[in-house]
Amino acid sequence: MSKQEEILVKLRNSISNFDRDAAKQTGKEVLENNVDPVAAIRTMAEAINELGRKFESQEIYLPELVMASDAMKSVIKILEPQMLKTGQKMEKLGTVVIGTVKGDIHSLGKDIVGTLLMAAGFDVKDLGVDVSPSRFIEEAEDMSADIIACSALMSTTVSVQKDVIEFLKAQGFRDTYKVLVGGGVVSRDYAEVIGADGYGMTANEAIGVAKKLLGKQ
Ligand code: B12
């Protein structure tokens, strides 16, 4: 096994063991050994999803899932500067406001999409979680944004993405912004039904779609 593969295995284990200190330490090793930060994030996401399955089958408890999520967040923070380096050298592609919709506090996927968009050369304003349709639009207006990106992870919150689009229509702004949607429960079909402009199943796909929406590809 190569040194880089070894580090990825160590990273996966640190998340699977909810070990924040080990995760942070391994995050530093990712940088020192030039491991691809996107591969590192993918590895952590796989570990989190695996823990999600264990949580569902009651093999682990919620606090453990929270600890693992925190560990992943702290590694993303460590990797972010490296990921952004490439982005800073590029011309700005456009401006995106991104957030997780009202009623939903899942942030990891949205954070990754935001970071990769920045790395690709977009200006990104992260509105955090529990974001109402009106706030998405106020912030988009403030930033003269091109894209509003909405994340939703729960079947109870996915309809808020539709609310954002309906709110835009009601305010007469539907043609001002492209709306990009994604998150665990969102499907391509659902995105089409609610009239979103774009859908990304993964963060990587989201970047390609965002570029396409602005005619940059
Ligand atoms: C980690 C996690 C948590 C963590 C969140 C920590 C954090 N800071 O984000 C904690 C423990 C806090 C949590 C809490 C809860 N959770 Co939770 N959670 C998960 C879990 C296991 C993983 C989600 C995750 O982060 N995955 C990793 C990331 C990287 O993947 P992702 O979010 O899907 O994002 C990727 C893509 O979807 C896409 N993407 C994401 N956003 C966007 C946006 C755009 C614009 C685009 C283009 C793409 C895109 O790109 C990302 C990277 O590729 C999921 C199970 C699952 N497999 O989804 C349950 C899950 C989402 N949770 C669930 C539930 C029910 C809850 C709680 C209500 C639990 C409770 N009983 O209290 C609360 C939520 C409270 C609330 N109001 O929001 C359910 C939702 C069920 C449903 N269908 O409605 C799930 C599906 C688990 C389950 N099967 O029951 N959770």
- Asked if residue 105 has its Cβ within 6 Å of ligand 1, the reply is yes
Instruction: In whole angstroms, give the CA distance from residue 67 to residue 21.
Output: 11
pLDDT in tens, 10-39: 999 999 999 999 999 999 999 999 999 889
Tell me which residue has its CA closest to atom 11 in ligand 1: 66
For residue 64, the CA-to-ligand 1 centroid distance in Å is 14
The verdict on the CB of residue 206 being under 6 Å from ligand 1 is: yes
Q: What is the pLDDT of residues 128-143, one digit of tens each?
A: 999 999 999 999 999 9
Which is the closest atom of ligand 1 to the Cα of 62? 11
Supply 133's token pair.
């349709």
pLDDT of residue 90: 58
Segments in the chain below pLDDT 70:
86-91, 119
| Best mutation site among 44, 153, 178 for ligand 1 pocket (most ligand atoms within 8 Å of CB) | 153
For ligand 1, atom 34, which residue shows the shortest CA distance? Answer: 109
pLDDT, residue 81, reads 87
3-state helix, strand, coil in the chain (%, to 5): 60, 10, 30
Distance between Cα 84 and ligand 1 center (Å): 25
Range 135-143 contact pairs with CB under 8 angstroms and sequence separation of 24 or more: 135/99, 136/97, 136/99, 136/164, 136/167, 137/164, 137/167, 137/168, 137/171, 137/173, 139/97, 140/97, 140/176, 140/177, 141/173, 143/95, 143/97
Phi-psi bin for 70: left (phi > 0), alpha (psi -120 to 50), beta?
alpha
CB 178 within 8 A of CB 198: yes
Per-residue confidence (pLDDT) for residue 87, from 0 to 100: 57
Q: Which residues of 153-177 are buried (b: 16+ CB within 10 A; e: fewer)?
A: bbeebbebbbbbbebbeeeeeeeeb
